[in-house]
């Protein structure tokens, strides 16, 4: 192939394919995806580990259970030997199939609970993040394209939510809804439903994504190609979905991993405060709360979910940075040069 033919092929390549090629060459994206894949697989196979490997029930208290370590039977909850000798001390990490990371104050297998808790934390983080993205994209497109009184009403609504600190608003809504539940039309979510933290987290972050999208739509609306579409008599839906939305999607794609990470962190904070995921279900936040009283004797109860939160959030942010750089023409030009 001649140099001229190669240049024409490169020039005719779509921006999406160029971004995908750039992303596939970015080592950060592969590192992040590898870490996320391992974490997702571990959480996915939580029932397999609990029933066939550890052979424990991560949600049932085992106050008088014993475990066989190096041929010696040891109680899961041992009498305390510190201070006045009151209470019990859970068994520490055995680094074997059973009680790999030890037990909590109720004799439950920490490793099994860690995997089950990851399922809930990841599910809530992904679902709430996607709800935020969808609502923000819808509001941003409508407000930015319609302008006028529609934009004023939606913008003031976003300003009201924006005025409250995220965690303060999420905590306030969680405290209220945990006692009364939530009814949305024909849907009713009970006080202990996992849908409550999903809806709460999905709503409180909407202004942080909708406002940038609205601003981008306002700028795109004044571009020549949009004015040409309006002048040619194209329908509003055609202009929005064919002219504006494709130019907004790169920003939306960058927001997705970031919002999933923020939603996951917010869920962990709410569950740590006992106003997120409710018993008997578990999440990484609830497991950290369970390990607070064991920080000096069995620190792995609280450290292990904390490490999982840090690894997952860091991988999501790293992948978000890689996506942003792949979609940024200026960054691609610098990397290619």
DSSP string across 105-120 = TT--BHHHHHHHHHHH
100-134 pLDDT tens trace? 999 999 999 999 999 999 999 999 999 999 999 99
pLDDT number for residue 205 = 96
Least confident of 180-184, 273-277, 300-304, 332-336: 332-336
Least confident of 64-73, 203-212, 277-286: 64-73
Lowest mean pLDDT among 30-44, 54-68, 310-324: 54-68
pLDDT band at 191 (very low <50, low <70, confident <90, very high): confident
How much is the pTM?
0.89
pLDDT given at position 330:
60
Residue 273 has pLDDT above 90, yes or no: yes
Residue 182 is predicted with a pLDDT of 83
**Could you tell me whether strands 77-79 and 187-189 are parallel, antiparallel, or unpaired per DSSP bridges?**
unpaired
Distance, CA of 239 to CA of 237 (rounded, Å)? 5
Token pair of 168 as six digits:
């303060």
Average pLDDT score, the chain: 87
CB atoms under 10 Å from CB of 290, counted, come to 21
pLDDT for res 86? 63
- 3-state class (DSSP) for residue 204: helix
Chain segment 241-267, per-residue pLDDT in tens: 888 998 899 899 999 999 999 999 999
Interstrand relation of 66-69 and 72-75 (parallel, antiparallel or unpaired): antiparallel
* Confidence class for position 307, pLDDT limits 50, 70, 90: very high
- 39-46+110-336 domain in CATH 1.10.3720.10? yes
Give me the residue label for tokens 């997952």: 312
Looking at residue 6, what is its pLDDT?
Answer: 43
pLDDT given for residue 331 in this prediction: 55
- Given a cut of 70, whether residue 82 has pLDDT beyond it is no
For residue 240, pLDDT over 80 is answered with: yes
Q: Which residue has the tokens 């002219």?
A: 243
pLDDT at 153: 94
Are 327 and 20 a contacting pair, CB within 8 Å?
no
């Amino acid at each position: 192939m001649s140099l001229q033919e190669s240049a024409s092929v490169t020039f005719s390549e779509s921006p999406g394919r160029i971004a995908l090629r750039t992303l596939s060459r970015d080592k950060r994206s592969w590192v992040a995806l590898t870490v996320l894949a391992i974490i997702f697989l571990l959480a996915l196979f939580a029932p397999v580990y609990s029933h066939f490997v550890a052979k424990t029930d991560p949600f049932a208290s085992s106050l008088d259970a014993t475990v066989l370590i190096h041929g010696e039977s040891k109680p899961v909850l041992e009498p305390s030997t510190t201070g006045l000798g009151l209470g019990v001390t859970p068994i520490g990490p055995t680094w074997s199939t059973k009680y790999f990371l030890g037990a909590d104050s109720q004799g439950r297998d920490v490793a099994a609970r860690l995997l089950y808790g990851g399922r809930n934390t990841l599910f809530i983080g992904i679902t709430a993040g996607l709800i935020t993205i969808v609502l923000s994209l819808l509001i941003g497109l409508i407000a930015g394209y319609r302008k006028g009184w529609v934009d004023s009403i939606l913008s003031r609504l976003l300003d009201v939510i924006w005025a409250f600190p995220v965690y303060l608003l999420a905590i306030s809504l969680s405290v209220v809804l945990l006692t009364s539940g939530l009814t949305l039309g024909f849907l009713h979510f009970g006080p202990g439903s996992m849908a409550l933290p999903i809806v709460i987290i999905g709503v409180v972050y909407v202004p942080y994504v909708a406002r940038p999208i609205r601003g981008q739509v306002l700028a795109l609306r004044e571009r020549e190609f949009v004015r040409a579409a309006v002048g040619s008599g194209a329908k509003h839906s055609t202009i929005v979905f064919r002219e504006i939305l494709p130019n907004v999607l790169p920003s939306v794609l960058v927001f997705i991993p970031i919002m999933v990470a923020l939603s996951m962190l917010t869920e962990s904070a709410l569950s740590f405060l006992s106003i997120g995921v409710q018993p008997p279900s578990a999440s990484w936040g609830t497991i950290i709360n369970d390990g607070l009283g064991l920080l000096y004797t069995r620190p792995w109860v609280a450290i292990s979910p904390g490490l999982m939160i840090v690894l997952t959030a860091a991988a999501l942010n790293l992948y978000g940075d890689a996506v942003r750089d792949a979609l940024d023409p200026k960054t691609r030009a610098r990397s290619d040069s």
